[in-house]
């Protein structure tokens, strides 16, 4: 009897060659999806890869705003998202009408938005950034230019702190990164005083204050790979542990616990985990669900994304 997982992997490999398709996966995807992907990266690396590919079809194993960004960069390619309901609390928590009203309260401000937003919000933005280039992009803007930052209030507050800006912040947050418990983290530090703490800047200030490294998924990964330390407490989505466990076999990686977590001590993004190997296979086979975007909207949303890719 053929093992179903083996059959699916084999079919994905056959179909991707036959259709000249590329599979891009975020670090927060299931291990099997990361292993079958052509490229695994953080949101900036995935946007870059999407901008460079000559494949006819992009299967984006991530969440909706990531696949939508790939489509904006590739209006003539087919972009498929294994589960079209894979949202994001940051993108979903910043609806265009409410953001337009918010923006109108600050008429002389320019808008910097995190890439975790819809195409409509990107089209209303002057700059787009990711967690790995946000500081650089903000520092490239003249200091006397007032700014709005959306949608992540934690990342925005962190950026205000390190750049000395006073950006007006939209009140959004990531349900995964906001859930880390400081209390439980401190308990872990007491048990492992030698451990270095790595955290994503979507986490709350109390967590970031005690972190040794704050960065995007790839920046945290590089820190762990290159640090002489051998124990790390990892305050981000548990998917990052998959690549790391292959790369740093001799280091101890301890997932930071979330407030509600009393069992497995790991934090998972339920949106990211909506994609499965079965869905990756079926979307490649059937070429659906496809991401569609109005062409005039895509042109407007492309401008700040291109600016970001040039600046970073």
Nearer to ligand SF4 among residue 141 and residue 151 (C-beta): 151
Binding of ligand 13P by 42 (CB under 6 A): yes
Q: Which residues contact 95 (CB under 8 A, 6 or more apart)?
A: none
Footprint of ligand SF4 on residues 76-95 (CB under 6 A)? Answer: 88-90
Beta strands in 134-189 (DSSP E): 147-150, 168-169
Binding mask 142-181 for ligand SF4 (x = CB under 6 A): --------------------------------xxxx----
24 close to 37: Cβ distance less than 8 angstroms: yes
For the four alpha carbons of 61, 62, 66 and 67, in that order, the dihedral sign comes to positive
Cα 94–137–269 angle (5° rounding)? 45
Binding of ligand 13P by 116 (CB under 6 A): yes
- Candidate list 69, 131, 154, 258; residue touching ligand 13P; CB under 6 A: 131
Partner that binds at residue 271, options ligand 13P, ligand SF4, none, CB closer than 5 to 8 Å by kind: ligand SF4
Long-range contacts of 72-78, Cβ-Cβ distance < 8 Å, separation of 24 or more: 72/119, 72/122, 72/293, 72/298, 72/301, 72/302, 72/305, 73/47, 73/302, 73/305, 74/50, 75/293, 75/295, 75/298, 77/53, 78/287, 78/290
User: What's the distance, Cα to Cα, between the start and end of the chain in Å?
Assistant: 50
Binding of ligand 13P by 130 (CB under 6 A): yes
Angle formed by the axes of helices 240-247 and 217-226, nearest 10°: 20
The candidate with the shortest Cα–Cα distance to 26, out of 237, 299, 209, is 237
- Candidate list 202, 214, 283, 308; residue touching ligand 13P; CB under 6 A: 202
Footprint of ligand 13P on residues 155-174 (CB under 6 A)? Answer: 174
Give the binding range for ligand 13P (CB under 6 A) out of 69-77, 129-137, 148-156, 159-167: 129-137
In whole angstroms, the minimum distance from the beta carbon of 13 to ligand SF4 comes to: 27
Binding mask 43-82 for ligand 13P (x = CB under 6 A): x---------------------------------------
Nearer to ligand 13P among residue 12 and residue 90 (C-beta): 90
Nearer to ligand 13P among residue 120 and residue 202 (C-beta): 202
**Secondary structure letter of residue 38 according to DSSP:** S
In whole angstroms, the minimum distance from the beta carbon of 304 to ligand SF4 comes to: 19
Binding mask 225-244 for ligand SF4 (x = CB under 6 A): ------------x-------
Residues for the chain: how many in total?
312
In whole angstroms, the minimum distance from the beta carbon of 269 to ligand SF4 comes to: 3
Binding of ligand SF4 by 46 (CB under 6 A): no
Tokens read off for 239:
């998917």
| Count of residues touching ligand 13P (by CB under 6 A) | 11
Phi, psi of 114 (to 5 degrees): -70, 150
- Binding residues (CB under 6 A) for ligand 13P: these are 42-43, 116, 130-132, 174, 200, 202, 216-217
């Amino acid at each position: 009897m053929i093992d179903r997982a083996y059959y699916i992997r084999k079919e994905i490999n056959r179909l991707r060659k036959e259709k000249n398709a590329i599979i891009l996966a975020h670090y927060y995807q299931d291990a099997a999806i990361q292993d079958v992907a052509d490229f695994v990266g953080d949101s900036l690396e995935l946007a870059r890869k999407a901008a460079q590919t000559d494949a006819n079809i992009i299967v984006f194993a991530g969440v909706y705003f990531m696949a939508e960004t790939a489509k904006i960069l590739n209006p003539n390619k087919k972009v498929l998202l294994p589960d079209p309901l894979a949202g994001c609390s940051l993108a979903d928590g910043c609806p265009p009408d409410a953001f337009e009203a918010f923006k109108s309260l600050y008429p002389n401000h320019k808008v910097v938005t995190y890439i975790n937003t819809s195409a409509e919000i990107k089209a209303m933005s002057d700059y787009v950034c990711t967690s790995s280039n946000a500081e650089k992009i903000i520092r490239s803007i003249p200091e006397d230019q007032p700014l709005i930052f959306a949608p992540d209030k934690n990342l925005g507050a962190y950026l205000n702190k390190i750049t000395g800006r006073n950006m007006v912040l939209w009140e959004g947050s990531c349900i995964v990164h906001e859930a880390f418990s400081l209390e439980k983290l401190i308990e872990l530090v007491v048990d492992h005083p030698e451990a270095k703490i790595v955290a994503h800047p979507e986490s709350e200030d109390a967590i970031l204050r005690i972190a040794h490294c704050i960065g995007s998924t790839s920046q945290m990964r590089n820190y762990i790979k290159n640090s002489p330390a051998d124990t790390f407490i990892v305050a981000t989505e548990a998917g990052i542990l998959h690549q790391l466990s292959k790369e740093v076999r001799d280091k101890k990686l301890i997932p930071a616990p979330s407030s509600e977590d009393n069992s497995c001590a790991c934090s998972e993004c339920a949106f990211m985990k909506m994609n499965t190997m079965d869905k990756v296979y079926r979307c490649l086979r059937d070429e659906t669900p496809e991401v569609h975007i109005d062409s005039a909207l895509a042109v407007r949303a492309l401008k700040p994304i291109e600016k970001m890719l040039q600046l970073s």
